[in-house]
Structure 1
Amino acid sequence: MLKVNNINVYYGAIHAIKGVSLEVKEGAIVTLIGANGAGKSTILKTISGLLRPKTGEIIYEGNKLNTMEAQEIVRSGVCQVPEGRRVFANMSVLENLELGAFLRKDKAQIKEDMEKVFEKFPRLKERISQLAGTLSGGEQQMLAIGRAMMSRPRLMLLDEPSMGLAPLLVKEIFSIIKEINQSGTTILLVEQNAHMALSIANYAYVLETGKIVLEGPAKELAESEQVKKAYLGG
């Protein structure tokens, strides 16, 4: 579904991503784990068109994403849930969700999808007219995921969904990510909580200082001594 072929990404003179290749198969949850500053978010931003690779290419369903504008990438079925939620703080929950569907014209389906979001996140329905900036961290994360669902993505890019959340909420968010995947959305998950990420993913890549140093089925990586030492506190 998605193939990242040997991309190199720079921030000015800084070589942030060094020859990274990865693949996301349709229907899978693929996770990218690594320490803070390893370049995980940079890869997601490059896939979603917010950054451009200097060399290499990104192919999604046969189309070259690295030559497309960000809104075209969303229209083609790829949507990112950014790190730190990035909800529109001065707009209501409802307005945030409506913005998720801004490229769509199918009003009846939009209404249907809104109901699906409220089924997954009943708390958002209770706070439908509340300003997004007044929600708790967990509710804002739910809103950010709900907003992405409104674009009907076939591939969802999740950037650090557990960041700053209480352990109980982390469990809830991860079980919702699993549900979204089971209902047909492919997921590429960037996460510092390697333990949780590996517990729900099918396949995993380990990123260190802009390079992939390890990859394999998530269950195998969770058992690997190298990964246990570096990321699972083992």
Structure 2
Amino acid sequence: MLRVENIDVYYGMIHAIRGLSLEVNEGEIVTLIGANGAGKTSTLRAISGLNPIKNGEIFYENAKVDSLDAHKLVGKGVSQVPEGRRIFGDQTVEENLLLGAYLRKDKTEAKKTMEEVFKRFPRILERRKQMAGTLSGGEQQMLAIGRALMAKPKLLLLDEPSMGLAPIIVEEIFDIIKEIREQGTTILLVEQNANLALQLADRGYVLETGSIVLSGNANDLLNNEAVQKAYLG
């Protein structure tokens, strides 16, 4: 479904991503793990069209997409839940969700999707008319995922969904991610909590200073001595 081949990303003179390649097959959860500053977010932003790539190619459903604008990729079925959630705090929960469906022409179908989102996240249903900035961190994360789901994505890019959340909420969020995959959405997950990510994923890639240093079956990576030492404590 997604194929990234030898991409390079620069921020000015800084070479953030170096010859990175990865694949995500339809129906999988694939995780990208690594320390802070390893280039995980830069990789997701390159895939979703937010960071231009200097070299390499990105293919989605066998079509080359690395020169497409981000909103066109959303139209093709790729949605991203950004690091730090990035919800619109001065708009209501419902307004935030509607923004996620801005490319959808059939508003009746978009309303149906909103009801599905509320069914999945009953806590944000209770707060649908509330300003999003007044929600707790966990509720904001649920809203950010719900907003991405409003676009009916085939591929969901999740950036650090557990960041800053209490362990009990993290568990809930990861259960939701599992459900989303079970209902047919493919997921590329960037996550600093390597232990949780590898328990959830089918396959994983380990990123260090902008390069993939290890990849494989998630369970194998979970039991890999080097990964355990570096990321699993």
Same-fold status (TM-score > 0.5): yes
Amino acid at match of 2:127: R
Deviation by residue 1:29-76 (Cα, 9 ceiling, x = unmatched): 000000000000000000011111100000001221211111101000
After the TM superposition, which segments of 4 or more aligned residues of structure 1 sit over 2 Å from their partners? none
Secondary structure at the aligned position of 2:214 is classed as strand
1:86 matches 2:86: yes
- In 2, distance between residues paired with 1:159 and 1:55? 23
1:66 aligns to what SS in structure 2? Answer: coil
RMSD over aligned Cα, in angstroms? 0.5
Alpha-carbon separation, structure 2, partners of 1:11 and 1:203:
29
SS at match of 2:128: coil
Report the AA paired with residue 85 of structure 1: R
Distance 2:160 2:47 in 1: 16
1:72 maps to a residue whose letter is K
Q: Distance in 1 between matches of 2:62 and 2:215?
A: 24
Aligned to 2:140: 140
Give deviations 1:176-222, integer Å, cap 9, x for gaps. Answer: 00000000000000000001100110000000000000000001100
1:74 & 1:203 partners in 2: Cα distance? 24
For residues 110-125 of structure 1, the aligned pairs below 5 Å read: 110-125=110-125
- Residue number in structure 1 paired with 2:190: 190
Letter in 1 for 2:150: M
SS at match of 1:138: helix
Output the CA distance in 2 between the equivalents of 1:2 and 1:128: 34
Give the CA deviation at 1:108: 2.1
Work out whether 1:204 is the aligned partner of 2:214.
no
> Which ranges of structure 1 fall in alignment gaps of 5 or more residues?
none
Structure 2 counterpart of 1:5, which letter? E
| TM-score (normalizing by structure 1) | 0.99
Look up the SS of the partner of 1:141 in the other structure.
helix
The alignment of Structure 1 onto Structure 2 pairs a total of residues equal to 233
Aligned residue in 1 for 2:71:
71
For the pair 1:95 / 2:99, whether they are aligned, the reply is no
Query: In 2, Cα distance between the equivalents of 1:224 and 1:205?
Result: 12
Question: Partner of 1:128: helix, strand, or coil?
Answer: coil
Hey, what does 1:180 align to over in structure 2?
180
Partner Cα distance (2:70, 2:229) in 1: 38
* AA in 2 matched with 1:30: V
1:57 corresponds to which residue?
57
- CA drift of 1:16 comes to 0.4
Name the CA distance, whole Å, in 2 between partners of 1:64 and 1:97. 29
SS at match of 1:88: coil
Q: Which runs of 5+ in 2 are unaligned?
A: none
Q: Name the TM-score, length of structure 2 as normaliser.
A: 0.99
What is the Cα deviation at residue 109 of structure 1? 1.4
State the distance in 1 between where 2:48 and 2:63 align.
13
Distance 1:103 1:109 in 2: 12
Residue equivalent to 1:130 = 130
Note the alpha carbon deviations across 1:150-201, whole angstroms, 9 max, x for none. Answer: 0000000000000000000000000000000000000000000001100110
Structure 2 counterpart of 1:47, one-letter code:
I
| Alpha-carbon distance in structure 2 between the residues aligned to 1:93 and 1:65 | 31
